[in-house]
Amino acid sequence: MSNLYGSIEAGGTKFVLAVGDGELNIIKRITIPTRSPGETIKEVIDFFKDYSLKGIGLGSFGPADINKGSSTYGYITNTPKLSWNMYDIVGNLERALNVPIYFTTDVNAACYGEYVKGNAQGTKSCVYFTVGTGVGAGAINAGEFIQGFGHPEMGHMIVKQHHSDTYEGNCPFHKNCLEGLAAGPTIEDRLGIKGEQIEENNPVWDYIADYLAQAAYNTTLFLSPQVIIFGGGVMNQPYLLDKIKANFKELMNDYVATPDLNAYILQPELKDNAGTIGCLALAKKHFE
């Protein structure tokens, strides 16, 4: 049998599909827009059906049921994208392709990519935040994802509002949780233009950096990981990482002796490939 693995990054706006070999080299990769499950899953099946794969790693937008004991294991659950609500993505793909699937969240997959081949390589524990359309995070400890009845939802942790930030927050569940104050669309909500177009000296970056520093601070106190990584579209602002580190240092006030911040709070080394590499590595780990 061939030594090939599949990767599916299922996102709310796009799906990234890839085939890779046992060394995690990407052999073929395409991106398709996320439409209804009927349309998109058909394209996924068409992409993979000519390959003989040992397994597929699937990192999905959530919330997703990744609890193997659950009757809705493998489903995308309570999503605002209504056509995907309670959709059995794993069952449908496994039946159509006859290939085993390892199912996890998109952020866990990206976390795993950085863990095997990126900026968390050689560590035993790391946390990966994505700051994009939403905020999400995955965590690895001793080589395994941290999860219990379900997956962590660190993107919705409560943070303290910055004293000058009057924005009420846009999370439909919590208003001013981390995602409600720091995800990309909150920037556009505050200022009427996208984050891409806002200059470095705008105070909004102080707010965003403060919230992400609080997230790193809480993560440090809860998990004490070896590395914390911030990825996602908003982190394309090149100075944001330094602002986060400065805020973090002030918040921590030398209470916990973390690793040097330049080796502790990082951006993803694999950039846009973190999720794909992670899914391939997870497929290899579980189905080799």
Q: Would you count residue 177 as binding Zn ion (CB under 5 A)?
A: yes
Question: Which C-beta is closer to Zn ion: that of 140 or that of 177?
Answer: 177
Instruction: Check: CB of residue 57 under 8 Å from CB of residue 7.
Output: yes
Q: Tell me the three-class secondary structure of 138-179, residue by residue.
A: EEEECCEECCCCCCCCHHHCECCCCCCCCCCCCECCCECEHH
Among 174, 249, 285, 286, binds Zn ion (CB under 5 A): 174
Question: Which C-beta is closer to ligand ADP: that of 13 or that of 25?
Answer: 13
Quote the least distance from Cβ 187 to Zn ion, whole Å: 16
185-209 in b/e burial notation, b at 16+ Cβ within 10 A?
Answer: bbbeebeeeebeebeeeeebbebbb
Question: Which C-beta is closer to ligand ADP: that of 169 or that of 184?
Answer: 184
Q: Would you count residue 274 as binding Zn ion (CB under 5 A)?
A: no
Q: Would you count residue 173 as binding Zn ion (CB under 5 A)?
A: yes
183, HSE (Cβ side, Cα atoms, 13 Å): 21
Quote the least distance from Cβ 80 to Zn ion, whole Å: 12
Question: Which C-beta is closer to ligand ADP: that of 90 or that of 182?
Answer: 182
**Pairing mode of beta strands 125-131, 227-231:** parallel
Q: Which residues lie across from 230 on neighbouring strands? A: 129
Residues near ligand ADP (CB under 6 A):
11-13, 132-133, 184-185, 194-196, 232-234, 236-237
Question: Which C-beta is closer to ligand ADP: that of 59 or that of 132?
Answer: 132
The site for Zn ion (CB under 5 A) is made up of 156, 171, 173-174, 177, 179
